[in-house]
Amino acid sequence: MPANKTIILQHQEIVQKITRMAWQILENNHDAGHLVIVGVEKKGTIVSKMLFAKLQEICDLQISHGSLFVDKNKPSLETIKLKCAVSLHDANVILVDDVLNSGKTLMYATLPILAQSPRQLHTAILANRDHTRFPIKADFVGISLATTLQEHIQFVQAENKEMTVYLT
């Protein structure tokens, strides 16, 4: 590990954060007719699949999973692709990503979801930077960090499936 990286969360801590977030999501959506977990590809989908699996384990709600592609470097309406086998109409939707940096990616990601008229839309973020440039917030958060603009948070999943969150 390079000297300029600081470990923020190790694998077991990430698993614990996901479990806590799943319970919070359940508490806030216990009366949902249908709950849909949508992960922002690629790393947000890793987190969303973990949340989906934990929610299936702890509750009997009707839960579906989907993913959404947004080009994080150059987001545009033309390149957003929502992949979900079920309609989001009148569903409680949880939009999941690994790190909330500027908020731009999540702002774009909400557009195709809102176009389907969900009952509710919330966000779940593993690591939140506490300051964004766009008006979006994390509703369910694994860890919040006050960082400088020069610092970056990185979520990494190794080939052995071990996950780590770093501050660089």
Q: Which helix (H) or strand (E) holds 104?
A: helix 104-114
Rounded Cα gap, residues 38 and 2, in angstroms: 33
Rounded Cα gap, residues 8 and 23, in angstroms: 22
Report DSSP state, residue 116.
Answer: T
pLDDT in tens, 21-40: 999 999 999 999 899 999 99
Rounded Cα gap, residues 1 and 41, in angstroms: 25
CATH class of 12-23+32-147: alpha beta
Is 0.85 topped by the overall pTM? yes
Rounded Cα gap, residues 106 and 65, in angstroms: 17
pLDDT in tens, 111-143: 999 999 999 999 999 999 877 777 889 999 999
Lowest-confidence pick of 41-45, 72-76, 110-114 = 72-76
Amino acid at 81: K
- Taking alpha carbons only, the member of 118, 6, 11, 103 closest to residue 64 is 118
CB contact at 8 A, 151 and 168: yes
